[in-house]
Amino acid sequence: MSGRAQLMWDEAVTGYDFGSGHPMDPVRLALTMRLVEAFELDRGPLEVVAAKPAGDSTLRLVHREDYIAAVRRASADPAAADLSYGLGTADDPAFAGMHEASALIAGQSVGAAEAVWRGDAAHAVNFAGGLHHGMPGGASGFCIYNDASLAIARLLELGAERVAYVDVDVHHGDGVQATFWEDPRVLTISLHEHPRTLFPQTGWPEETGGEGAEGTAANVALPAGTGDEGWLRAFHAVVPELLAAFRPQVIVTQHGADTHFEDPLAHLAVSLDAQRAVAEACHDLAHQYADGRWVALGGGGYAVVDVVPRSWTHLAAIAAGRPIDPAAMVPEHWRHEVFRRTRQLAPHRMTDGRTPQWRDFVDDGYDPADRLDQAVLATRRAVFPSHGLLP
């Protein structure tokens, strides 16, 4: 296996644009790539690769043919968007070229999966991806084609027998869970804000997989307001033990940056520094349990200047084996670029100034009166016995 890391990037992914005023502003992708370049990660440690758009045969690995046809129609004529497929809604407005932009993003994730499986790269990152709400037959939650599901489906097509998917976006990874609900080859783990308080109102701990795949879906429903300590505690209380028991050949992770305390669409209180710590943990877990095979995707994140570019640049740097010191200054020319594009002031450092700490759930014991610990225990009780683990 190559020790190199690939960053999947084609400037045309910024064409995934729902229009002015929509939270999913493609400037977040452009600014992230410019920050990657400002730290010169693209000059050696990362091989920047542009994959082809996903063709219909690839899209059909996950999506229904009638849905793909509906996306194509809306892409050619946004006025023809069919609401029955979730197209033309406030969350997923139709726009010209929608099919092409969505298929291009999906192609980058599929290309990342192929590179890692074939040994062309140890790690591959597509921060434009992670569109985890897309369903086999419909758009949902800013997501048209589900590139995460497509990457996993391609891995299975190539011969993978066990793929683990770890989703730390603030929203439940419902589309990926739904796609593989009855497939015992895929373990989906999602840590997200509790469905009582956030879209898509799914991801309860009792959702553990369909018939023949019991225990292959794990959901940690975190109380609104959860910060660094609780978020990291929950991650480490669930993810490593399940990965050790499942023994994945590849790990696919989704790093939505919308867990951040500045994100306008959700209610967790996680810092950039904790997001970086989880990216490092995912990297380490891939080496520990999957021979280093790691596909890392982006996802949500709507603080498009202050949070998303820094979070995903850290992710890319970790994958490249050249992590950025959190105390590092943000390059001044990038800050000028931010102001030129957005008229917003950019952050000065690659940190929120936090040093995240967490207590181990097993070693330090749990508090039955604590809502975070109740959430963790509910997940462990629901899923761990299926893997021969003690809750």
List, by residue number, the catalytic residues.
Answer: 133
Task: Show the tokens assigned to 338.
Answer: 């931010």
> d(Cα 157, Cα 359) in Å, to the nearest integer?
40
Instruction: Give the SS3 label for residue 3.
Output: coil
345-357 burial, b if ≥16 CB within 10 A, otherwise e? ebbeebbbebebe
Q: Residue 128 half-sphere exposure, CB side, CA atoms within 13 Å?
A: 33
Amino acid at 282: C
Per DSSP, the residues of 184-229 read TTEEEEEEEE-TTTSTT----TT----TT-TT-EEEEEEPTT-BHH
C-beta separation of 6 from 120 below 8 A: yes
CA distance 294 to 287: 8
Closest by CA position to 190, among listed 124, 64, 309, 175: 175
The radius of gyration computed from the CA coordinates of the chain, to the nearest angstrom, equals 19
Contact call for residues 58 and 353 (beta carbons, < 8 A):
no
Give the DSSP letter string of 46-90.
EEEE-PPPPPHHHHTTTS-HHHHHHHHHHHH-GGG--GGGTTTSS
The dihedral over CA atoms of 181, 244, 289, 363, expressed in degrees to the nearest 10, equals 130
Q: Strand order of the sheet with strand 250-254? A: 46-49, 5-8, 123-126, 294-297, 250-254, 163-167, 186-193, 217-222
